[in-house]
Structure 1
Amino acid sequence: MVQKLEYLKETPSQTAGPYVHIGLAPGAAGFDIYENELGRDIAGPDAKGERIRVEGVVIDGTGSPIKDVMLETWQANAEGVYAHPEHDGEVEAGFSGWGRVITDFDSGEWGFDTVKPGAVMGRNGRMMAPHITLWIVARGINIGLNTRVYFEDEAEANAADPVLNVIEWERRRATLIAKRTERDGQVVYRFDIKLQGEDETVFFDI
């Protein structure tokens, strides 16, 4: 007698819901759970280089800010060294190069303080312009989105960056460039992320 095999159906995918903040960024969500919450201090007090703030909003296809986004950041220090054992060199005490922030539940604004990273060596032996990598998750996003923040005052380095040069259209490259301003004596880079529509931010499949 041949037994008929019954196969299980694929489990439905699920996007990151509103409760992701309680587990991953409870302090920012108003829950005092951890003494030292991961991802709040990216550079530490002893990091060299220019202190900066990066901020923006994540915008959906209708042009509205999304208010339940979580972003993770990854960057080198001012000398272009990552806090990772596979990378040569040492970083300053307290420099993690990694951060985690969530958007404001009312305005959708997000932001973090760090030091401006230096140029880093790419896998192909070519120098990459100073940049910060972002990973973005939110309700409605099945798979986290990866993008980069480059700096408008690094025009020469940006022009030679091997990743930026893969993007054919200049208008598309511009979606990865943060605008430099100053507020109350602090350097602020503005980087708004558009998920869909005109001038959609470039995302990377990594």
Structure 2
Amino acid sequence: MYSQYKLQDQTGLLRETASQTAGPFVHIGLALEIAGFEPRADEIWQDLANKDAEGEHIELVGYVYDGNGDLVRDALIEIWQADSQGHYLADFDNKKPFRSFGRSTCALDGEFHFNTVKPGQVDFDGKLMAPHVNIAVFARGINLHLQTRAYFDDEQESNKNCPILTSVPSSERRQTLIAVKEEGKGKPCYRFDICLQGEGETVFFDF
């Protein structure tokens, strides 16, 4: 009874439990090799597609910047995407040619890196969303992970008709959701830098 009483405020309601941010130690549990530990046998990592996966093989890379424009080197990025046919694979299996889920860190060179395939279009209430990658950002100073999306700058027609992308009212703000194609090493590379605050702040979603 004593502990319950101490948790109550003057209204008699239980107070919210104190929270801490998600870093800077997220790598210890989610990216063991980066933290200096032996990786698990079935590690979730940055390669979502092997050479046998169907579709256009691409690389998705980017930096994470804080409000001062400095690199956030302890950020951890998770992505969730459809395969080239627009289907999500709910079961994670490293033995399959493609996995819908991947994880990368910015700890080594400041960038996150994903080897994957360009996703197909996914239905949303009878309308097709433009090809996109769902992104979750974990870092120190963030109590709840941030959610955003990376669309592709060479998918202009589908971007123009995407019910989610076009729901962002400002064209300038929509631009923060566009990954830009650049020269890659043997396959197309798309750059998607994430700004957590300040000028050019990336659009984040409350899904």
Give the TM-score normalised by structure 2: 0.88
Deviation, structure 1 residue 84: 2.9
Contact 2:90 2:100 in 1 (8 A): no
Question: How many residues are treated as equivalent by the alignment?
Answer: 195
The answer for the alignment partner of 1:111 in structure 2 is: 113
Contact 2:136 2:148 in 1 (8 A): yes
Amino acid at match of 2:67: G
Match status 1:62 vs 2:68: yes
Q: Calculate the aligned-residue CA RMSD, in Å.
A: 1.9
The answer for the alignment partner of 1:153 in structure 2 is: 154
Kindly provide the CA deviation profile for residues 78-123 of structure 1, in whole angstroms up to 9, marking residues without a partner as x: 11111138xxxxxx93322100111124x4211111011111111x
User: Helix, strand or coil: the match of 2:54?
Assistant: coil
User: Take 2:187 and 2:49, find their aligned partners in 1: how far apart are those partners?
Assistant: 16
Give the TM-score normalised by structure 1: 0.88
The answer for the alignment partner of 2:176 in structure 1 is: 175
User: Take 1:61 and 1:27, find their aligned partners in 2: how far apart are those partners?
Assistant: 29
Deviation, structure 1 residue 6: 1.9
Deviation, structure 1 residue 139: 0.4
The answer for the alignment partner of 2:143 in structure 1 is: 142
Contact 1:68 1:102 in 2 (8 A): yes
**Superposed counterparts of 1:21-100, under 5 Å:** 21-84=27-90, 93-100=96-103
Kindly provide the CA deviation profile for residues 52-82 of structure 1, in whole angstroms up to 9, marking residues without a partner as x: 1011111000000101011110001111111
Amino acid at match of 1:6: Y
User: Take 1:198 and 1:44, find their aligned partners in 2: how far apart are those partners?
Assistant: 37
CA separation of 1:111/1:152 partners in 2, compared to 1, >3 Å: closer, same or farther?
A: same
1:102 to 102, 105, 127: 105
Kindly provide the CA deviation profile for residues 12-51 of structure 1, in whole angstroms up to 9, marking residues without a partner as x: 1111122210111112333223123123431233211111
Gaps of at least 5 residues in structure 2 are 8-14
Amino acid at match of 2:118: K
The answer for the alignment partner of 1:16 in structure 2 is: 22
User: Helix, strand or coil: the match of 1:13?
Assistant: coil
What's the % identity of the aligned pairs? 48
User: Take 1:98 and 1:28, find their aligned partners in 2: how far apart are those partners?
Assistant: 18
Kindly provide the CA deviation profile for residues 171-199 of structure 1, in whole angstroms up to 9, marking residues without a partner as x: 00000000001133321100000011111
User: Helix, strand or coil: the match of 1:153?
Assistant: coil
